[in-house]
Amino acid sequence: MLRNGLVADLDRRFGRDYSVHGVPSGEAVDVLHATTRGSLALLLVDERVTAPTALETFARGRERHPLVERVLLVHRGKWSSRHPVVDAMALGRVDYHLYVPWVPIERVLYPAISDFLAAWDTSRDVPVVPLTVVGPARDARSHDIRDKLARAAVPFRFHDRASAAGRRVLAEAGQAAGRLPVVVVSSTGAVLENPTDADVVEALGMKTRPTTSRCDVVVVGAGPAGLAAAVSASSEGLETMILEPEIPGGQAGTSSLIRNYLGFQRGVRGDELAARAVEQAWLFGTDFVLTQPADRISARGGARVVRTADGTEVEARAVVLACGVTWRRLGVPALEAHVGRGVFYGAAGSEARAVAGQDVFVVGAGNSAGQAALHLARYARSVTMVVRGSGLAATMSDYLVTAIGATAGWRCSRAARWSTGAVRAS
Ligand SMILES: Cc1cc2nc3c(=O)[nH]c(=O)nc-3n(C[C@H](O)[C@H](O)[C@H](O)COP(=O)(O)OP(=O)(O)OC[C@H]3O[C@@H](n4cnc5c(N)ncnc54)[C@H](O)[C@@H]3O)c2cc1C
């Protein structure tokens, strides 16, 4: 039987870390209600079940377990753009699909389930982390460090300085009266007091200054365009250096889920996409220099010379400019004063858990606002989108508009809803 076979297959591989239960669909809702809140990782339901249907079970599952990942088991043979899974994914009612039969098991079932669990795993505490950050919970610099670590896909733990754990870490680090935030590096035991980005990056073993004065290609910017250029150049055997003033990922690194990137049929988190691209470029030999912007380019004979902010010059045969864009600020002085302390630009990934049970406002009607609203709606009590126009369709991709509309109708008390109007300084 399908259910028993799946339970046995999952139990064999994941049974040590997770308990795997198979229940008849009619009992699923009772089981969901009996399960302790927040502890359910995955819900796998066959598309063919009725009373309740898979989508009804998923809806009840999310009601009870807001972080659970929902996987629809799809039977082959109905390959059409009208397949229910297409709509369900677009409407945000299903997170992933898995084909039945899930063979070859090592290539299909296990990697997919590991990915689904990894997506759920980011929403819970990890036992061992390379960095621990302690600072005031509502502090711009503490937020900035957390945000960059999250975008760099570096696991870390954050403690408010006033919490028992925060006071303990500070005391153990001899920083009870130190300047906050404090970052403790597990591998070396180093304690960084109010560190710069470069201090943190160096503590993680990465380079912040060029160590060579000549190469074939300098790539300016480590967003998706720069990372793609670095992969291409270094895979052709060119000596490639990439300069980045922050950490890799660019705008894409702040995205909670990119669904339209080639090859990622179920979508990919922006930080994960960036981490994969960084590793790929690195494995081809790209030299990464982080927290170091290029501030001047000039010609020297046939070569181009890039000067970095610390005054180092690097000569290259070619320079690729992939500097992207920077955020447009809202320009409301009363809000600017609170940036990093309850007001954030593009921090849906790192701040999502902190908004649990709170009312959140997302300003903007572009794709990034849509992704943020959907992501935050899983944690916040309510999400209100503040938009200038009369709707979202003119500025947001259709799949996101559809998903937001479906969320609003789906559950009013914790759903994304949108209102129009302008943000004014008070
Ligand atoms: C929240 C969010 C969600 C998004 N979701 C999607 C989506 O789902 N699908 C989609 O298609 N697009 C999406 N986008 C848009 C997409 O991320 C961008 O189109 C893409 O990141 C552009 O890539 P880029 O490399 O050209 O520039 P950027 O991503 O802007 O990267 C530029 C890089 O250059 C660096 N840089 C700047 N100045 C210098 C300098 N002087 N020296 C060295 N480096 C410098 C920056 O620090 C940055 O890292 C999203 C954007 C955001 C913000």
Per-residue pLDDT of 369-425, as tens digits, reads 998 888 888 888 888 888 888 888 899 999 888 888 887 543 333 334 444 333 333
Q: Is 346 in the pocket of ligand 1 (CB under 6 A)?
A: yes
What residue type is assigned to position 66 of the chain? Answer: P
Q: Is 135 in the pocket of ligand 1 (CB under 6 A)?
A: no
Q: Strand locations in 161-280, DSSP E?
A: 182-185, 191-193, 214-220, 240-244
pLDDT at position 124: 58
pLDDT at position 159: 93
Edge-first strand listing for the sheet containing 191-193: 156-160, 131-135, 182-185, 191-193
Please state, in angstroms and rounded to a whole number, the distance separating the CA atoms of residues 4 and 10.
10
pLDDT at 193 over 60: yes
Q: Is 406 helix (H, G, I), strand (E, B) or coil?
A: helix
pLDDT at 222 over 90: yes
**Quick one: which of 198, 204, 197, 244 has its CA closest to 223?**
244
Residue 253 Cα to ligand 1 midpoint, Å, equals 8
The domains of the chain are located at 2-121, 131-203, 214-321, 333-420
CATH code assigned to 214-321: 3.50.50.60
Residue 322 Cα to ligand 1 midpoint, Å, equals 9
Burial of 280 (0-12, 13-18, 19+ CB in 10 A): middle
pLDDT at 89 over 90: no
pLDDT at position 402: 87
CA distance readout (Å), 179 to 135, 159, 192, 194, 295:
9, 15, 9, 6, 31
Mean pLDDT, rounded, for 223-239: 98
pLDDT at position 348: 61
What residue type is assigned to position 13 of the chain? Answer: R
CATH, domain 333-420, list 3.30.1330.10, 3.50.50.60, 3.30.565.10, 3.40.50.720: 3.50.50.60
What residue type is assigned to position 194 of the chain? Answer: N
pLDDT at 113 over 70: yes
pLDDT, one tens digit per residue, over 258-290 is 888 999 988 898 999 999 999 999 999 999 999
Q: Answer whether 207's CB lies under 8 Å from 289's CB.
A: yes
Please state, in angstroms and rounded to a whole number, the distance separating the CA atoms of residues 270 and 368.
11
Mean pLDDT, rounded, for 109-122: 86
In the numeric block, which tokens belong to residue 161?
């300085």
Q: Give the dihedral of Cα atoms 343, 349, 355, 359; nearest 10 deg.
A: 70
pLDDT at position 142: 92
184 phi and psi angles, rounded to 5 deg:
-110, 125
Please state, in angstroms and rounded to a whole number, the distance separating the CA atoms of residues 97 and 72.
5
Least confident of 106-115, 139-148, 254-263, 403-412: 403-412
In the numeric block, which tokens belong to residue 317?
């045969």
Mean pLDDT, rounded, for 38-55: 89
Q: How many helices (H) and strands (E) are present in the chain, helices listed first?
A: 14, 16
> To test the ligand 1 pocket, which listed residue (288, 292, 323) has its Cβ within 8 A of the most ligand atoms?
323
Q: Tell me which fold the domain 2-121 belongs to.
A: Rossmann fold (3.40.50)
Least confident of 6-20, 235-249, 289-303, 408-422: 408-422
Q: Is 173 in the pocket of ligand 1 (CB under 6 A)?
A: no
Ligand 1, atom 44, lies closest to the CA of 221
Please state, in angstroms and rounded to a whole number, the distance separating the CA atoms of residues 236 and 130.
34
Which atom of ligand 1 lies at the shortest distance from residue 254's CA?
Answer: 1
pLDDT at position 87: 81
Q: Is 292 in the pocket of ligand 1 (CB under 6 A)?
A: no
Residue 289 Cα to ligand 1 midpoint, Å, equals 18
Nearby residues of 273 by Cβ (< 8 Å), 6 or more positions away: 224, 249, 252, 253, 258, 261, 264
pLDDT at position 190: 92
- How many CB atoms are located within 10 Å of the residue 337 CB? 10
Kind of pairing between the strands at 313-321 and 156-160: unpaired
Q: Is 376 in the pocket of ligand 1 (CB under 6 A)?
A: no
Rounded percentage of the chain residues whose pLDDT exceeds 70? 92
Please state, in angstroms and rounded to a whole number, the distance separating the CA atoms of residues 269 and 258.
6
> What band does 10 get if pLDDT is binned at 50, 70 and 90?
very high
Ligand 1, atom 26, lies closest to the CA of 324
Residues forming beta bridges with residue 384, ordered by sequence position: 361, 417
CA distance readout (Å), 141 to 133, 180, 216, 338:
11, 9, 37, 12
Please state, in angstroms and rounded to a whole number, the distance separating the CA atoms of residues 362 and 341.
15
Q: Is 319 in the pocket of ligand 1 (CB under 6 A)?
A: no
pLDDT at position 420: 38
Report for 21-35, 168-182, 398-412: range of highest mean pLDDT: 168-182
Q: Is 7 in the pocket of ligand 1 (CB under 6 A)?
A: no
Q: Answer whether 249's CB lies under 8 Å from 152's CB.
A: yes
pLDDT at position 411: 37
Which atom of ligand 1 lies at the shortest distance from residue 346's CA?
Answer: 1
Ligand 1, atom 37, lies closest to the CA of 323
Same fold, 2-121 and 333-420: no
Across the chain, mean pLDDT equals: 87
> 131-203 domain in CATH 3.40.30.10?
yes
> To test the ligand 1 pocket, which listed residue (251, 266, 368, 398) has its Cβ within 8 A of the most ligand atoms?
251
